[in-house]
Amino acid sequence: MLSRTADAIYWMSRQIERAENLARLLDVLQQMSLLPGMLSSATLRSPLRLSGSEDDYAATGQALEIRSLMRFCTLDARHPASIFCNLRAARDNALCVRGNITTEMWETINATWLELRDMKSESQSLQGYRPFLEWVKERSHLFRGVTFATVRRNDTFHFCRLGTWLERADNTLRILLVHTAANTDSASNWEILLHSLSAQENYRQRYGNTIGMQQVMALLLLDAEFPRSLLACCAGIEVALAAIQGDNGYPPRRLCAEMLAALRFTRIEQELTAGVAPMLSAYLQRLTTLGQSIQNAYMGVAA
Each residue's pLDDT tens digit, 169-187: 998 998 888 777 665 667 7
Digit-coded pLDDT (tens) for 39-65: 777 778 777 877 778 888 888 888 888
Q: What is the pLDDT of residue 45?
A: 79
What are the angstrom distances between the C-alpha of 52 and each of 46, 66, 82, 257? Answer: 10, 18, 12, 29
- Range of the structural domain that residue 235 is part of: 3-299
Confidence check: pLDDT of 79 > 60 = yes
Average pLDDT over residues 142-170: 95
If one counts the domains in the chain, the total is: 1
**HSE-up (13 A, CA, CB side) for residue 285:** 6
Sign of CA dihedral 145, 147, 152, 154: negative
Q: What is the pLDDT of residue 177?
A: 82
Tell me which H or E stretch contains 225: none
Confidence check: pLDDT of 188 > 90 = no
What are the angstrom distances between the C-alpha of 97 and each of 3, 106, 162, 291? Answer: 12, 9, 17, 21
Average pLDDT over residues 238-252: 90
Contacts of 211 (CB under 8 A, 6+ apart): 187, 190, 191, 194, 203
Q: What is the pTM of this model?
A: 0.89
- How much of the chain exceeds pLDDT 70, in percent? 94
Q: What is the pLDDT of residue 303?
A: 45
Q: What b-and-e string marks burial along 242-271, b requiring 16 or more CB atoms within 10 Å of the CB?
A: ebbeeeebeebbebbeebbeebeebebeeb
Confidence check: pLDDT of 255 > 90 = yes
Confidence check: pLDDT of 105 > 70 = yes
